[in-house]
A and B are shown apart, each in its own frame.
Chain A
């Protein structure tokens, strides 16, 4: 039976198991919206700006483990979406993005709302397609979902010219996907796994360094089994938060630029470092030649190009994190059957003592104030109020780092943040997607005033679509992270950072039909959080915080992880930092 291409797109989405899409209509995709008019079983959430559709799809994907889908029109809509695509690319989030395109005979004619969509998204997607023949619609959509969700996940873009959507075609739906050029490797090499197990069994100062790949691969249980089997301390990257419970005695919390002192020291002094689903990002390693200088590094990753990209690796294991960890646990159990030499046991005891000392002596900390709200305190109280059981989303900046440092993460897939790209404005639209994927669950967007302003229009979507996202604005009246760098590294030459007091976030929330709350004193924080959580509508809680507060510890860019600044620096430390290689 022939049907219009637009209808085929929707039928294919349904066959693919999609029940929710985020989108914004426009000329080139009108045929799809026309088909959507009486199409059953597909919910469409109308966003207010196209990037928000992409971020919402990311939030949906990250928390549900399924592929997120968004649909926008041609030209400016597609270019607006680019930020979200690159964001998903950097953080390996599986989404499929559909854009409209001018009719095939007009492509290249500078037609109205035309852009070279596939040319533009080529470098910010895992793969992209321009559909030039309606018979390819089914196979391409099938492949798009396959590519997005397998191997190292990522965004896939499908560009749909309008005439393809209008003309009638047969629905072609391949039973199987066979791509000779794309066959990700899931099983780690047994020999390498054995080598890794041998190293771990004899390690005197082992550390597990785990990232977002553990979450993508749903490998948290296996990770915990491995850690507990050989009492291996675990540090998580920003993207990996939630893969290992923070209150677990083996947790070293986050590592890297704003990670814990004890995590960075542990990695630096380790003799065997096992990276699982992490990619040795510069925000993690600091100066690469000073990163884990004495460690034999094992790297488990599904993406061969991640291995030895930034740091030379001794034992590379290409494969799915979960499957490799299962095998690694087996192999390690085998190795541990023989009692390790007494020297190893003794060294391991010393290592555990050393780690405990670092944890005790250098915890995350801040100066309490009775007068002004400390941002860290707000996150602590959110953590207390939710018991680590809420979905947490953030924007980008200081608040993001405080959320990562002070929230006690318990479960995987409950944390969404823009790790790789650092996309300000990520918070609210992503939280929307999380809420849509998890109806009835508590979703809290911890945002900054600068970051929130970039996509605050989505409050309208939250209101109209019944998505009761709770936003806590850590409001320091400025671009706090920029201010922090200008203070510490650029000799307090503050430039272009002030966002003084406008808009009034409470009134803005109310203008969008949401509930607005404000807090200016520490004593008001807990009641306000409780009120926010118990309000069934979308809420914006504006918390006016100490604008001078900085995120510590901090490794200045280009510095080694051992050069951590632990507290507000003295002039001499600032001068030292100013001499280091700088740059965001």
Chain B
């Protein structure tokens, strides 16, 4: 068991008002308080007036407690949820431009295949691969491709959703009608 006081990565979901300047408020908080963001991704939710940010932050318990409280103190922040110790699915997308000389073309494709990565662009000397997965999978893919010569690498940052029938990071107004996915039998750990 990790000691609660050891710094580790936390994944925090933040619901915010979808207004201009909110991103800079959140980013500014981190720089002003001396916390580091490892990754951050933002997008609209079902309710277009609300955006959801997924932050990955490294810190011990006290730092994360302060991060959470300080985030919540921002006026435009509606809800802050630390999903680290919840059962959750995390995904990140990566685009990789990798050398594809005749000598290693097949090897690149085989590797891509193992990781269920897709070739989305191809030239005589290179491939662009698209892969999704959790951090471990993507790191493994990158490590295997590295010897072949990675030209360029772009990552989206993590997005995370809790497992199970209930939203851990609730929308502000509850949904009007029960939906099919609310039936626990329908939802499994499919991935």
**Residues of A that sit less than 8 Å from B by CB:** 118-119, 122-123, 126-127, 130, 147, 179-182, 303-305, 307-309
A-B contact pairs, 13 of them (CB 8 A): A122-B21, A123-B28, A130-B20, A130-B21, A147-B75, A179-B75, A180-B172, A181-B17, A181-B76, A303-B73, A304-B73, A305-B72, A307-B69
Establish whether residues B69 and A304, one from each chain, have CB atoms under 8 Å apart when the complex forms.
yes
Given contacts A118-B21, A122-B25, contact A305 B69 (CB under 8 A): yes
Distance in angstroms between the alpha carbons of A127 and B73 in the assembled complex: 10
The residue from A127, A147, A181 contacting B78, defined by CB atoms under 8 A apart: A181
Contact partners of B32 in chain A: CB under 8 A: 123
| Nearest opposing residue in chain A for B16, CB measure | A181
| 5 cross-chain pairs, A with B, having the tightest CB-CB distances, nearest first | A305-B69, A127-B75, A181-B78, A123-B32, A182-B75
| Chain A min CB distance to B123 (Å) | 39
Residues of A near B21 (CB, < 8 A) are 118, 122, 130
Q: Chain A residues near B16 (CB, 8 Å)?
A: 181
CA–CA, A147 and B65, complex, Å: 24
**How many pairs of residues, A versus B, come closer than 8 Å at their CB atoms?**
37
Contact with A along B78-94 (1 / 0, CB 8 A): 10000000000000000
Question: Within 8 Å CB of A309, what residues of B?
Answer: 66
Residue of B nearest to A118 (CB): B21
A280 to B: closest C-beta gap in Å: 13
Chain A nearest Cβ from B163, distance in angstroms: 26
Residues of chain A within 8 A of B20, CB atoms compared: 130
List 7 additional contacts besides A126-B75, A305-B73; criterion CB under 8 Å. Answer: A122-B21, A123-B28, A127-B76, A130-B20, A181-B16, A181-B77, A182-B75
**B24 at the A interface (CB under 8 A):** yes
Instruction: Give the complex CA separation of A347 and B97 in angstroms.
Output: 75
Task: Evaluate whether A305 and B75 lie within 8 angstroms (CB atoms) in the complex, with A122-B21, A130-B21 already known.
Answer: no
Let me know if B24 and A305 touch, CB within 8 A.
Answer: no
Contact B72 A304 (CB under 8 A): yes
Q: Which residue of B lies closest to A156 (CB)?
A: B75
On whether the beta carbons of B28 and A122 are closer than 8 Å, the reply is yes
Bound-state CA distance A147–B78 (Å) is 15
Complex: how many Å from CA A130 to CA B19?
Answer: 11
On chain B, the residues within 8 Å of A179 by CB distance are 75
Question: Is B70 part of the binding interface, using a Cβ–Cβ cutoff of 8 Å?
Answer: yes
A-side contacts of B69, CB under 8 Å: 304-305, 307
Cβ–Cβ < 8 Å partners of A181 in chain B = 16-17, 75-78
Q: How far is the CA of A508 from the CA of B18 in the complex (A)?
A: 53
Nearest Cβ on chain B to A38's Cβ, whole angstroms: 35
A305 in contact with B77 given A122-B24, A122-B25, A130-B21 (CB within 8 Å): no
Residues of B within 8 A of A182 (CB): 75
**How many angstroms between the C-alpha atoms of A118 and B19 in the bound complex?**
14
CB of A127, distance to nearest CB on chain B (Å) = 4
Residues of B with C-beta under 8 A to A127: 75-76
The CA of A308 and the CA of B25, in the complex, are separated in Å by 23
Shortest distance from the beta carbon of B82 to any chain A beta carbon, whole Å: 15
B180 to chain A, nearest CB (A): 27
A118 to B22, CA, bound (A): 12
Interface residues of B in 45-89 (CB under 8 A from A): 62, 65-66, 69-70, 72-73, 75-78
Chain B residues lying within 8 Å of A118, measured Cβ to Cβ, are 21
What CA separation (Å) do A126 and B29 show in the bound complex? Answer: 12
Q: Given the complex of chains A and B, what is the CA–CA distance between A304 and B71 in angstroms?
A: 11
CA distance A324 to B143 in the complex (A): 57
CA distance A305 to B68 in the complex (A): 9
User: Which chain B residue lies CB-closest to A152?
Assistant: B73
CB distance from B179 to the nearest CB of A (A): 22
Please encode chain B, from 1 to 43, with 1 for each CB lying within 8 Å of some chain A CB and 0 for all others: 0000000000000001100110011001000100000000000
A505 to B6, CA, bound (A): 58
User: Once bound together, how far apart are the Cα atoms of A222 and B46, in whole Å?
Assistant: 47
Q: Chain B: which residue is nearest A312 at the CB level?
A: B62
CA distance A127 to B76 in the complex (A): 9
Q: Inside 8 A of B62's CB, which chain A residues have their CB?
A: 308
Q: Which residues of B are found within 8 Å of A303, using beta-carbon distances?
A: 73
Name the A residues within 8 Å of B172 (CB-CB). Answer: 180
User: For the complex, what is the distance from the CA of A305 to the CA of B77, rounded to whole Å?
Assistant: 14
The CA-CA distance from A307 to B69 in the complex, in Å, is: 9
Q: Which residue of B lies closest to A303 (CB)?
A: B73
How far does the alpha carbon of A180 sit from the alpha carbon of B62 in the complex, in Å? Answer: 27
Return B28 CB to nearest CB of chain A, in Å.
6
CA distance A118 to B75 in the complex (A): 14
| Bound CA span A34–B71, Å | 40
User: What's the Cα separation between A308 and B16 when bound, in Å?
Assistant: 25
Whole-angstrom distance from the CB of B17 to the nearest CB of chain A?
6
Contacts of B70 in A (CB 8 A): 305
Shortest Cβ distance from residue B30 to the other chain A in the assembled complex, whole angstroms: 11
Residue in B closest to A129 when the chains form the complex, CB atoms: B21
- A130, closest chain B residue (CB): B21
Q: A180 vs B77: C-alpha distance in the bound complex, in angstroms?
A: 9
Give the docked Cα–Cα distance between A126 and B73 (Å): 9
